Amino acid sequence: MYPLISFNHTLMPAQEVNISPINAGLIHGYGVFTTLRIYNGVPFQFKEHWTRLEMHAHTVKLDLDEDIETPVHADLISLIDANKIIEGKARITLLERQSPFWQLGEKKSGIDILIFTADLQPKSIELNLTISPYRVLSSPLSGVKTNDYIPQFLMLDEARRRGFDDAVILNERGEVCEVTTANIFWVRHRVLYTPTPSTGCLTGTTSGLVRKLARELKIESTTGAFHAEHLLSAEECFVTSSTRELVRVKSLNHKQFDAMPNSIFERLTLAFKKYVHKVTYPR
């Protein structure tokens, strides 16, 4: 992580951030966040990330100011400039201050806004996945990117202990939901499939862009609720996220996905790279 962060619209060294020990975001995980990719010093798809973050904040009853988007965007740009980031990632976190169960003197209502940046982790060329033995259950927080990521971390750890890179998560109905920290796509008979939000998956900003690019490339695509058998009968599979972009899946359990020339994955990857270059590397 870079040394400077933005805390409540002020740039400061990370070690100087003063968050109350009873901040509800800290002790209850009461908050939401989003992680953006930075290309050429530009926060990619900020508007899409903010729209989703704002929607998730309203879902968990965070009290946002109506005009907060503009100053947060300005804070992010200032932070990227101050940390001299060309390629990297940024996280915007909204934390509820007031705990309903713990008080420390005077009540402090409202939210804390924390933005920090970091280098990218090495990107995998391909992934070997397994189906997690754990399930996600439908709840009011299904598809909401809250600060509580412990279930995903435990699922990822279980998969890695068995020698896999990541895990496909199913919901309580046995429908494919997502990978622990990414969305998933697969191809059957030249049709592109991905889970619908009703499965409980996160509506990813990169997955939304991939679906848009698929339409432009005249690739037939559909969203829906599909069981694992549908995924296991696919010819191609890949995952998407803001920081990892598009990554090909090599295998799922004992199912192998062979790399193919002019595959839908390759076509979408090329289109994605061209789109990024167009919007973040202006002439």
Residue range(s) of every CATH 3.30.470.10 domain in the chain: 4-118
Residue 267 tokens, joined: 């076509």
37: confidence class by pLDDT, cuts 50, 70, 90: very high
Strands (E), 47-87: none
Residue 171 tokens, joined: 């919901």
CA distance linking residue 276 with residue 213, whole number of Å: 12
CATH homologous superfamily of 126-279: D-amino Acid Aminotransferase, subunit A, domain 2 (3.20.10.10)
Pick from 21, 18, 15, 20: nearest CA to 3: 15
CA distance linking residue 54 with residue 264, whole number of Å: 33
CATH 3.30.470.10 assigned to 4-118? yes
267: confidence class by pLDDT, cuts 50, 70, 90: very high
How do residues 160-193 score in pLDDT, each as one tens digit?
999 999 999 999 999 999 999 999 999 999 999 9
Residue range(s) of every CATH 3.20.10.10 domain in the chain: 126-279
Supply the pTM of this predicted model: 0.94
63 vs 251: which has the higher pLDDT: 251
106: confidence class by pLDDT, cuts 50, 70, 90: low
- Position 259: which residue type? A
Q: 128 Cβ partners below 8 Å, 6+ apart?
A: 163, 164, 165, 249, 250, 251
